[in-house]
Structure 1
Amino acid sequence: MDKTESLLTLPAPAPTGPTPTAATADAGPPARGRPDPAWVRPALAALLLATALLYLWGLGASGWANSFYSAAAQAGSQSWKAFFYGSSDAANSITVDKTPASLWLMALSVRVFGLNSWAILVPQALLGVASVGVLFATVRRWHGPAAGLIAGAVLAVTPVATLMFRFNNPDALLVLLLIGAAYATVRAVETASTRWIVLAGALVGFGFLTKMLQAFLVIPVFAGVYLLAAPTGFWRRVRQVLAAGLGVVLAAGWWVAIVELVPASARPYVGGSQGNSILELTLGYNGLGRITGAEEGSVGGRGPASGQTGLGRLFDTENGGQISWLLPAALILLVAGLLLAGRAARTDRRRAGLLLWGGWLLVTGVVFSFMSGIFHAYYSVALAPAVGALVGIGVTLLWQRRAPGAPRWQALAATVTLAAALAVTA
């Protein structure tokens, strides 16, 4: 059984120079240009402060939250061996059924502040504030500060995010690492930078050390956007993407290699596996088994932790109120943005940004909708950064091109109306 199946039952300035042509107008703002308007920094500070208050206020209401991971954090604070392996107990008899990166943060916090609910949960809240800040920086770079602020605000108040950034499951760290990888991809695309694209791969690899194969869902999207939009030759782009793949392997594989090479008698049993193997756990119970439903010892694909598969899963009674209020709006704005981009140049940043966040949303959303293994509603927090980014980009793009009676204005009005209706009924 997944140890978290009952989680959601808890209480819970004007342009200068030549007039731009139609082609250059859709190329998006430059990565480096005029400084932000004076209001941006205060607005960002207010957003981050409000997010911190939202996530930190009354943090102890959840008690020990997921006691399965709280016990592992306690063990890691008492034993460095338990810390490294992510053991459930300081005696190192068995590990949790996940890779241990998120536990490392909690265990370090307990070592500093002592064993209490606040010490376990405050790292998650701070990860949430950092996620909002990095999402702002990523979206702002290509689409402007207004889009970045909207994106960050949407992420901050998405219901499932307000839950998971106050809880001690691995998802909070995973979300921050994936947003960081998106930022590194954006920086890489700007100058065809090998260093940045390898960093993106390394961050995804560290995401594997947080929640295994779920981190890899964004790999084809980030690689595809880089191959499409980076301003360099095709074969150099291919080589750089392969180097990023090596970054993924190294960042994710060092810990796995150690666990597999250490004799079983000298380490704890790998929890969740049938044969005391981290590779088996990665490919089985926490890997392909989540897609196919072939998870030995799990509740199966139709159990109470999973719901019905299909496109409607993310809109059902369990998931609808957590993530779905802005999903249709994000998809409408994605399509509208791509239509506005039209036949832009290969390296067009606005289109690249839409493809990056739209690809993240579609790939992850489809997998979550059709996976036959264990699925929990809180997994959908991985969709929240993409939803926020698409809403921020799409709203500002349509607003900049508004005109009374124009289709773009009507599309924006319809999007707002639909989002409001879903928010009320979800």
Structure 2
Amino acid sequence: MTTRYDQTSPPADPATWGPPEGARHAAPGTGEPRGPLARRAWRGRPEDPRWVRPAFLGLLLATGLLYLYGLSASGYANSFYSAAVQAGSESWKAFFFGSLDAANAITVDKPPASLWPMELSVRVFGLNSWAILVPEVLMGVGTVAVVYAAVRRRSGPAAGLIAGAVLALTPVAALMFRFNNPDAMLALLMSVACYLVVRALEDGRTKWLVWAGAAIGFAFLAKTLQAFLILPALALVYGVCAPVRLRKRLGQLALATLALVVSGGWWVAAVELWPASSRPYVGGSQNNSFLELTFGYNGLGRLNGEETGSVGGGGGAGGGQWGETGWDRMFNAEIGGQISWLLPAALILLVAGLVLTRKAARTDLARASFLVWGGSLLMTMVVFSYMAGIFHQYYTVALAPYLAAVVGTGAAALWEKRRALWASLALAAAVTATAAWGYVLLDRTPDYLPWLKWLVLVGGLVAALGLVFAGKVGRRVALAAAGLGLVAALAGPTAYTLSTVQEGHTGSIVT
């Protein structure tokens, strides 16, 4: 049974724009209602306020311009992968295998999927910095669009815009969506996979889950087993929350697994079956085997620190070349400024969202959305925090889409319930934690914009005080407090992001 959106009496608060609780779309799988109004899709959904489509396009345009600014300052960025891009632009065999040289002597130490867009770009536009890095920028804009679409679909356009802005202004995102490591493609594909799982949870349609499996499989061809970090969370959420009977859920998960194996395994099978004498050596492997590379150097060895060439990470109070491990790793001096600005807020909003939906039915989509994005965030964060092998700070770009989605979804859900004291207090707590943590991060570099930490702290605390009474004061006052809180929360990461795009970045380890 389907339900049309109410075209005559939409919610008064833009932050609550979105489908009614539990409603199904009139045209399943399209996201648009049937009938003449569907022909106006280019203007956005008919029930949207006029500002929604321009705001969304403005977000994408601003993200693109931000990431394109001074892009050529990075030159060939990571010359290791740029060499492979040059080789793949000259030899289709090098293109297929991900070879470091057109003579096909040896490959890079990753699958080649992340190289393919850059190699096609260089074939068209010639070898130059922009031809290599613009595809990465486009992946960044695409990731923002996907996160916006996912959050907007469940929580409304205001929430989607918040999520998209949080992602675009995360410093490590601004770094890696302007750099030619595999992480840009990985972040895009993992965002797509989460979006597709949420779509599947809406009506239990098999195709969305199968496409999610295919996205994760292709992500494997970008950065091997890191693509699988969120699989347990996604499979468990769908297996429990999907609106179909258990037997069908299990069958759908099996089909999605098959799609994953096919989309990621076809290239692996080709490499393993290809005569070793007529293909390049698999770089990073000990015995010219991509499977050994996958489960060794690029796989389990990254977790336990026993991969060849690793000096291991620290544990507890100890530390090694790859940094100290532990629950606070994402907040430490090396990583905190890259990703953790809104991480305390995301964790608070995730808990609050789950409390809000604790009495909902098994198939409640609001709770399932929290679990998809929040589960992906927690799984990835825990693995990154405790992996003892090779770990670089820029890996944390994988957290950015999940974090942004949780912040947007959680903020919208609590705003809608702000008349309940606990919800307004939770919003205030999220803003307070963000302001306090932003002050700490900015204070770690006291010579960098010394006035900004006070602006963040004072602005955040004032906004939090206003949000405590958001359900009792007028709507304009409540919106002013929310706006001030958002500005204070994004001020620190925005400053770091602007500093990031004003500098060139090269080498294999960037911050």
- Note whether the superposition's TM-score is higher than 0.5: yes
Matches within 5 A, 1:14-413: 15=9, 27=21, 35-302=47-314, 305-403=321-419, 406-413=421-428
2:431 is aligned to 416
Flag the structure with larger Rg: 2
One-letter code aligned to 1:414: A
Q: CA deviation at 1:410?
A: 1.7
| Contact 2:305–2:311 (CA under 8 A) maintained in structure 1 | no
Q: CA deviation at 1:127?
A: 0.3
> Which digits, 9 at most, give the CA deviation of each residue in 1:350-376, with x for residues without a partner?
000000011001000000000010011
The change in CA–CA distance for 1:355 and 1:194 in structure 2 (over 3 A counts) is same
> Which digits, 9 at most, give the CA deviation of each residue in 1:188-232, with x for residues without a partner?
111211111111000000000000000011111111121122111
The change in CA–CA distance for 1:378 and 1:208 in structure 2 (over 3 A counts) is same
The change in CA–CA distance for 1:295 and 1:67 in structure 2 (over 3 A counts) is same
| Contact 1:87–1:268 (CA under 8 A) maintained in structure 2 | yes
> Please, what is the CA RMSD of the aligned residues?
1.8
One-letter code aligned to 2:348: I
Q: Which runs of 5+ in 1 are unaligned?
A: 1-12, 18-24
| Contact 2:306–2:312 (CA under 8 A) maintained in structure 1 | yes
One-letter code aligned to 1:381: V
Q: CA deviation at 1:35?
A: 2.4
Q: Distance in 2 between matches of 1:16 and 1:258?
A: 54
| Contact 1:29–1:143 (CA under 8 A) maintained in structure 2 | no
| Contact 1:309–1:372 (CA under 8 A) maintained in structure 2 | yes
| Contact 2:415–2:424 (CA under 8 A) maintained in structure 1 | yes
Q: Secondary structure at the match of 2:54?
A: helix
| Contact 1:26–1:350 (CA under 8 A) maintained in structure 2 | no
Q: Which runs of 5+ in 2 are unaligned?
A: 1-6, 12-18, 26-30, 34-45, 442-511
| Contact 1:27–1:344 (CA under 8 A) maintained in structure 2 | no
One-letter code aligned to 1:217: L
Q: CA deviation at 1:304?
A: 5.9
Q: CA deviation at 1:27?
A: 4.1
Q: Distance in 2 between matches of 1:15 and 1:249?
A: 47
Identity percentage over the alignment? Answer: 63
Q: CA deviation at 1:305?
A: 5.0
Does 282-291 or 177-186 show the bigger shift?
Answer: 177-186
Q: Distance in 2 between matches of 1:333 and 1:151?
A: 13
One-letter code aligned to 1:137: A
| Contact 1:217–1:364 (CA under 8 A) maintained in structure 2 | yes
The change in CA–CA distance for 1:305 and 1:29 in structure 2 (over 3 A counts) is farther
Q: Distance in 2 between matches of 1:299 and 1:107?
A: 33
Q: Distance in 2 between matches of 1:69 and 1:16?
A: 51
Q: CA deviation at 1:306?
A: 1.6
2:471 is aligned to none
> Which digits, 9 at most, give the CA deviation of each residue in 1:323-346, with x for residues without a partner?
111111100000001101121011
Q: Distance in 2 between matches of 1:99 and 1:229?
A: 34
Q: Distance in 2 between matches of 1:298 and 1:85?
A: 25
Q: Distance in 2 between matches of 1:94 and 1:424?
A: 47
One-letter code aligned to 1:204: I
TM-score by length of 1: 0.92
Q: Distance in 1 between matches of 2:312 and 2:234?
A: 31
Q: Give the number of aligned pairs.
A: 406
One-letter code aligned to 1:211: K
1:3 is aligned to none
Q: Distance in 2 between matches of 1:136 and 1:190?
A: 17
